[in-house]
Amino acid sequence: MEQKVSDIQKKRIKEIEMKANDLVNKCEVMFVTSVNEKGYPRTCCVSKLCNEGFRDIFFVTSKRSEKQGKAKHFEANTKSSICFQHEGDSLTLVGDVEIITDKNEMLRLWNEQDRAFFHKGIDDPKIRFIHFHAIEATFWIEHKFRTVKYK
């Protein structure tokens, strides 16, 4: 029986998504873009706390400045992009962020190594736990390119 084109495409997407999960699991560092107060993109190198697949990424940042920085940007505009790269493969994600305020979720995400920067742990008034959720992914994995939109 001949497979439908849509079935073949779905299979290829699932395969590249599995490889994207592996890529994100291998990466400890990522590039995060926020939109600054003047509407320009601002990209920073950030350590990943954890991920749930490739579409849900968690990281921590600081609200040290009242005028600029990722935390301030995300309060004003939740649009973001994250990029991962490992051994020639890359994944660029577009989506939205949420600032996590639930104490149990913050405890789950807390990394004791961050105490050097956030002395009071999750009770530090400057700490911001961020959850990024992708609505679009552009894959470049094993020399295969594909962009997929999610709802």
Sequence spans of domains, the chain: 5-149
Q: What is the mean pLDDT of residues 17-34?
A: 98
- pTM comes to 0.92
Contacts of 125 (CB under 8 A, 6+ apart): none
Q: What is the pLDDT of residue 63?
A: 87
Please give the CATH number for the structural domain made up of 5-149. Answer: 2.30.110.10
User: How far is Cα 75 from Cα 63, in angstroms, rounded to an integer?
Assistant: 10
User: How far is Cα 102 from Cα 105, in angstroms, rounded to an integer?
Assistant: 5
Nearest alpha-carbon partner for 57 in 18, 31, 88, 89:
31
Q: What is the pLDDT of residues 92-125, one digit of tens each?
A: 999 999 999 999 999 999 999 999 989 999 999 9
